[in-house]
Amino acid sequence: MGWTKSVSKGAKGVGKSIDKGAKDTGKAVVDTGKDAGKAIEKGATDTIDTVVDTTTTVINVATDTYNYAVDFANDTAARTESIEATVLKNTEEMAKAGIDTTSKEFNDLSKQAEQQVIAGVEVVKDAAVDAYAWIDENACRIGLTASLSMGFVAAFTPAQPEGAATSTTMSSLYVTMISTAGKYATAIALAEASTELIYLIPGVKGQVNQDLLFNCVSNCIYYSLDSAALWGTPAGVGIAMGAAVSPIVATLICTRTLPNGFSKALPKS
């Protein structure tokens, strides 16, 4: 009998312990769940705040660069100073990379690029929003012209096998097409042969979309095609591209502007 009472009492004690343990465990689970929920909620809030802060920074920088481009477009003196500095730096970097910058043709096309910008530019809104990696125009000019010069020598001159192949193709296109198909078709064909190679140059890719770059390049080439002495030989292709195209690409990326009409598809003539 005493043993039975003890068992009964023990069972009740165990039952109470189990019940208490289950309640404690349940309470712990609920508390842990609440804590986890709070942690998740706080983490999500922190993440949202970070995204909002980052997005706001990007928007502010993009707005600043767009406003800069607008001011640049409206200031003839600033445009003149900028493009003269760009052409000078471009000439210096092209010479260091091995392009013959002493020829009359190179200097004539460089001067033409200057005049295209001085005459008037349009703000390229997409570029002004996207291309905010270069905050300082002068730093952009120095870094980008150096990168473009090395890229143009590699892609468009006989100095390297890839450039030899491309310059030979482009020269052949010019010789074959200019007298039969005209300037428009020739410029489009030459832009198709060169735009992707320019796009892959460090400092260009990611700063401008390829369609816009194609329009820019085709317009630059179109207005340079009277330089038959350059376009008619593989050795001259890199000189023409370096003088006529490179400064305008640098202007696009560093100031988010292009000569009027250059952001549009080349009009058929």
pLDDT tens track for 73-87? 888 999 999 999 999
Report the candidate in 225, 252, 253 with the shortest Cα–Cα distance to residue 241: 225
Q: So what's the pLDDT on residue 32?
A: 44
Q: What is the pTM of this model?
A: 0.75
Q: So what's the pLDDT on residue 222?
A: 98
Q: So what's the pLDDT on residue 139?
A: 85
At 124-173, the pLDDT tens digits run: 876 544 444 555 778 888 999 999 999 999 999 999 999 999 999 999 99
DSSP bridge partners of 180: none
Alpha helix stretches (DSSP H) within the chain: 2-74, 76-97, 104-119, 125-130, 137-156, 161-177, 182-199, 210-222, 228-231, 234-244, 246-255
Taking 50 as the pLDDT cut, the residues of the chain under it are: 1-18, 21-22, 25-26, 28-30, 32-33, 36-37, 39-61, 128-132
Q: So what's the pLDDT on residue 64?
A: 65
Q: So what's the pLDDT on residue 36?
A: 43
Q: So what's the pLDDT on residue 63?
A: 58
31-to-20, 21, 22, 44 alpha-carbon distances in Å: 16, 15, 14, 20
Q: So what's the pLDDT on residue 138?
A: 83
Q: So what's the pLDDT on residue 127?
A: 53
